[in-house]
Amino acid sequence: MVYGSGAADAAADDRLDAVFAALAHPVRRELVQSLARADAPLTMGRAAAAHGLSPQLLNKHAAALERAGVVRRVPRGREKVLELDAAALAAAQQWIGEARAFWQQRFDALDQYIADLEDESA
Amino acid sequence: MVYGSGAADAAADDRLDAVFAALAHPVRRELVQSLARADAPLTMGRAAAAHGLSPQLLNKHAAALERAGVVRRVPRGREKVLELDAAALAAAQQWIGEARAFWQQRFDALDQYIADLEDESA
DNA sequence: GCAATACTAAACCACATGGTTTATGGTTCG
DNA sequence: CGAACCATAAACCATGTGGTTTAGTATTGC
């Protein structure tokens, strides 16, 4: 154990806040999907057109994704290409996975508990 | 393919909105963790006390989790026990997983593409 | 029935967010 | 240089969210 075990440091917490919040909007999820499947680098302009968004609005959504570390905007000439950073997604996915793992184990324990009760009452 | 492939029906979309939004708050994530690890049924009152929240505030957070289908509130006497529904979490986790899978495959394809370029230039 | 208990509803406030319109910094290309 | 283009900033509005205070609705137990 390195620092605190119960409080689960605040920086990671903030990051998860941002990642989950970023994914909590259909447009941003579609954006992420586009980036995940894209076979060619996607610029802001092309992304906006592809999703029928104004450049300004896309900019805001891209900023949200960037805040969360899900996406980087890399300048190339006068345009910027969007790059997905799968690490942030992995962190969120892992969080859910851990919660589910705990739950599964608790579920099994409850099962056992109920079985024990039935043994006693038998 | 059943209905539309591009639009990915709106109901599932709304559900994901709610689940990700629900997880985008540290208190609610801690709540979920509590429920996942709990070895005894957790009531609203006990949950509020455990996290140092007013009953009213916990009620709001619980409502958010319930909207998302992450949690159910089952009346038992004059209190309500919180039950976690892992299915909603699974849906969110799976969404991320798919995005990551696509990305991985695109990543490999890009790798191949670059290798091809280097072959040509050699 | 009555008091205490457990949860919920409502009103309200400060602040964040999604979205539009308008305007501004850079970068290419004629 | 100047015009066109890409991306962003700023101002602004409507709505949603986190949080508190206050009040209300059941349910237990005397």
A13-66 confidence digits (pLDDT tens): 889 999 999 999 999 999 999 999 998 899 999 999 999 999 999 999 999 999
- Class of B10-86 in CATH: mainly alpha
d(CA A78, CA A51): 21
Q: Which residue has the tokens 């793992």?
A: A101
Chain centroid to CA A45: 24
Q: What angle do CA B106, A80, B8 make, to 5 degrees?
A: 50
What's the order of all strands across the beta sheet hosting A42-43?
A: A42-43, A79-84, A71-76
Question: Quick check: A12 contacting B, CB < 8 Å?
Answer: no
Nucleotides of D under 7 A from a protein CB: 5-10, 17-23, 26-28
Cβ–Cβ under 8 Å, residues B40 and B76: no
Question: Quick check: B20 contacting A, CB < 8 Å?
Answer: yes
Chain B CB contacts of A29 under 8 Å are: 13, 16, 95
Q: Is residue A107 predicted with pLDDT exceeding 80?
A: no
The pLDDT, as a whole number, for residue A5 is 45
Cβ–Cβ under 8 Å, residues B9 and B3: yes
Question: Which has the higher per-residue pLDDT, A80 or B113?
Answer: A80
Nucleotides of C under 7 A from a protein CB: 5-10, 17-23, 25-28
Q: In which band, very low, low, confident or very high, does the pLDDT at A109 lie, cut at 50, 70 and 90?
A: low
What value does the mean pLDDT take over residues A81-101?
Answer: 97
Closest residue to A86, CB basis, from B20, B21, B103? B103
Query: For D28, which residue's CA is nearest its C1'?
Result: B78
Question: Quick check: A106 contacting B, CB < 8 Å?
Answer: yes
Q: Which two tokens stand for residue B81?
A: 């026990």
| CB within 8 Å: B100 and A92 | no
pLDDT in tens, chain B (122 residues): 454 445 567 888 889 999 999 999 999 999 999 999 998 899 999 999 999 999 999 999 999 999 999 999 999 999 999 999 999 999 999 999 999 999 988 767 666 655 655 555 44
| CB within 8 Å: A100 and B90 | yes
Strands (E), chain A: 42-43, 71-76, 79-84
Q: Is residue A8 predicted with pLDDT exceeding 70?
A: no
The pLDDT, as a whole number, for residue A110 is 62
Cβ–Cβ under 8 Å, residues B54 and B48: yes
For the CA of A39 and the C1' of C15, the distance in angstroms is 40
Chain B CB contacts of A89 under 8 Å are: 96, 99-100
Question: What are the C-alpha distances in Å from B60 to residues A35, B4, B24?
Answer: 35, 35, 14
Specify the amino acid at residue A112.
Answer: Q
d(CA A71, CA A41): 13
| CB within 8 Å: A106 and B32 | no
Cβ–Cβ under 8 Å, residues B15 and B67: no
Does the domain made of A10-121 have the CATH classification 1.10.10.10? yes
What lies within 8 Å, CB to CB, of A68 at 6+ separation is A15, A18, A19, A21, A22, A88
